[in-house]
Structure 1
Amino acid sequence: MKIFDYQATGERLPYPALIESIRQIFIAGCVVPRRHIHAVDGDDAAATLLIMPAWQKNKFMGIKHVTIYPDNGKRHGLPGLHSTYTLFDAQNGVPVAVMDGNQITCRRTAAASALAAKYLAREDARNLLIVGAGNVAREIAPAYAAVRNIGKVRIWNIDADKAHRLAGDLKQQGFDAEAVTDLEAAVRDSDIVSCATLSTAPLVLREWVQKGTHIDLIGSFKPDMRESDDAMFAGTSVFVDTDEALDKAGDLLSPMAAGEFAREQVLSDLEGLCQGRHPGRTAADEITVYKAVGAASEDLAAAVLVYQG
């Protein structure tokens, strides 16, 4: 059985190849049971364990185990998310590899976000706003650069120091990046707004969003987590990664409960976009909203790419 540590896993997941691998698994299809979500007793009241399986017949099967401890940063100076990924031969159940799940999670999340933007963001979108400065947020700009000609990158985070550090890291990668403190102004001046936080209160408001903007909401994955207000889903073109988002994401559950939005108004999931069943953006002034909670099929696509090298 092969072992891939953090560095080895990341080195085998370049964004152009990863985005295409995720696209192909959505086209081919994949068995994805509903994830298991368990609250974990402890000092961190929001501690959560996720178990996410997926497989393709006679090919590969994988299971990701994820722990989410939102208070880790302030309590222990640690990231809030940790995970491992185990890959199996689906023909016989033999485990073939164990790899760093954090790299799998962060990179496939950013890659799936960029894949959605390939269909939903304007072709001429250049100004990118990243809301958040954690492990997933730092992958957004490199992933988006694989599908759009990104010019200016702005970063807003509730902890301004972390936003400045991420801006510095992105500058070293060649991006024209800066940290900002005025979130409203940054949203108004962005073509793409990508939110990758663990927020439990709305951050980006619909009234700030200009025509033609693509809103990417990829941080929240539980009913008590929010990155946008209810109005974000009224009068906009809404897409999801999978139907699971409609059952588990606070960003969607809240406007549905308030009567601002109905699940039937979702235009397509990511599979439908990849398979060409929906064209994605249809007008330059359209406001597109993509809500994702993550899909185990994306993890599997990434893990197979790592394993096969």
Structure 2
Amino acid sequence: MLIISEDLARRLVSVEDAIGAVEQTFAAMARSYARNYPVVREIVGYRDAVFGVKTGADVNAPFLGLKAGGYWPHNLGRGLTNHQSATLLFDPETGRAAALISANYLTGVRTGAASAIATKYLSRPDAQTLGIIGTGAQSTYQLRATLAVRNIRRVFAWDTSLANLTAFGETVREFGLDYLPQVGREAVAANADVLITVTPSQQALVQKQWVRPGTHISAMGADTKGKQELDPSLVATTAIFVDEAAQSFTIGECQHAYAAGLIGEKDVRASLGSVIAGIAEGRRSADEITLFDGTGVSLQDLVVANLAVKRATEQGLGASVDF
């Protein structure tokens, strides 16, 4: 078995690499070459943790595996990140466990990649202002990935933590961008050409009346039942695109508008993969508000882990152990 550490995973897979890999696997999903299996996600009942397992396979690539991990909210006090996970890949020819990959960085980078791909295909090409609601650890991945697909000039941001806002601002300025932190969320939403929400919120943070025509929204925070970042009435007025429709209605941002009867399955225009593959159309006009409900699917995790394994194998890196 090949073991890839957290540090090595960072060296093997860049933001740009992740964007290319995730884009390919989204298209494979749309063409039915790749499939995500049902998600297991549970409250642990210990240390306030949430634990889950995501599995899937791409028979065209091919790769097969699972990512296991979750959210431990007290980790920061121990000098660890709150999100902890690992990916296990299996040999699709034999079913034997083949590689174990630390997935904290890879989870961050694949999430940023998914949002950036949505921005690439759904936002206006002239988008220059990025708005970010939530400036925790994931915000840096979101920023770097968005810059890979759009010519962003300025960034509006909001967070409950002043420390987070300040730290994020240092990263923004390193790219030579104008940084405009806000004490309220409305100004972030109202000024954004591309709006990214990436929080653990369980209540609406962005109201319908704040969002101007032509905005693209990537709602990346909702991945569990009860999580919410957008006003359901806002969701109901957007052109909705998803990574996985079944997840969007059960654990994604769409769950609340769906439960309220404001949208149904027919109101999802397409999966993002279908747009990438040319099977479905994306944005229809410059004034349309587009929404990507990014719940996070196993194939995102598996494709970047598989890329890390390929790179490590080619370069003779990683630790090999008998198993």
Q: Do Structure 1 and Structure 2 share a fold, with TM-score over 0.5?
A: yes
Quick check: 1:57–1:91 contact (8 Å CA) kept in 2? Answer: no
Give, as a single letter, the amino acid of the residue that structure 2 aligns with 1:16: E
> Pairwise mapping of residues 161-200 of structure 1 onto structure 2 (< 5 A)?
161-200=163-202
Q: In the alignment, which residue of structure 2 is the partner of 1:9?
A: 9
Q: In the alignment, which residue of structure 1 is the partner of 2:66?
A: 63
Q: In the alignment, which residue of structure 2 is the partner of 1:32?
A: 36
Quick check: 1:119–1:279 contact (8 Å CA) kept in 2? Answer: no
Per-residue deviation, residues 105-145 of structure 1 (Å, max 9, x unmatched): 11101101111111111000110011112222220011011
Query: Which stretch shows the higher mean deviation, 95-104 or 148-157?
Result: 95-104
Quick check: 1:245–1:292 contact (8 Å CA) kept in 2? Answer: no
Q: In the alignment, which residue of structure 1 is the partner of 2:240?
A: 238
Q: In the alignment, which residue of structure 2 is the partner of 1:23?
A: 23
RMSD: 1.8
1:220 to 213, 219, 222: 222
Quick check: 2:249–2:258 contact (8 Å CA) kept in 1? Answer: no
> Pairwise mapping of residues 35-46 of structure 1 onto structure 2 (< 5 A)?
35-44=39-48
Where structure 2 has 5 or more consecutive residues not aligned to the other structure, the ranges are 312-323
Give, as a single letter, the amino acid of the residue that structure 1 aligns with 2:154: K
Q: In the alignment, which residue of structure 1 is the partner of 2:315?
A: none
Deviation at 1:222, TM superposition (A): 1.5
Deviation at 1:76, TM superposition (A): 5.4
1:208 to 203, 207, 210: 210
Where structure 1 has 5 or more consecutive residues not aligned to the other structure, the ranges are none
Give, as a single letter, the amino acid of the residue that structure 1 aligns with 2:7: Q
Quick check: 1:160–1:181 contact (8 Å CA) kept in 2? Answer: no
1:251 to 250, 253, 260: 253
Q: Secondary structure at the match of 2:131?
A: strand
Quick check: 2:240–2:291 contact (8 Å CA) kept in 1? Answer: yes
State the identity %: 30
Quick check: 2:68–2:85 contact (8 Å CA) kept in 1? Answer: yes
Higher RCO structure (Cα 8 Å, ≥6 apart): 2
Q: 2-side partners of 1:250 and 1:99: how far apart?
A: 26
Q: In the alignment, which residue of structure 1 is the partner of 2:136?
A: 134
Quick check: 1:141–1:153 contact (8 Å CA) kept in 2? Answer: no
Query: Which stretch shows the higher mean deviation, 194-203 or 60-69?
Result: 60-69
Query: Which stretch shows the higher mean deviation, 59-68 or 185-194?
Result: 59-68
Q: In the alignment, which residue of structure 2 is the partner of 1:269?
A: 271
Quick check: 2:109–2:141 contact (8 Å CA) kept in 1? Answer: yes
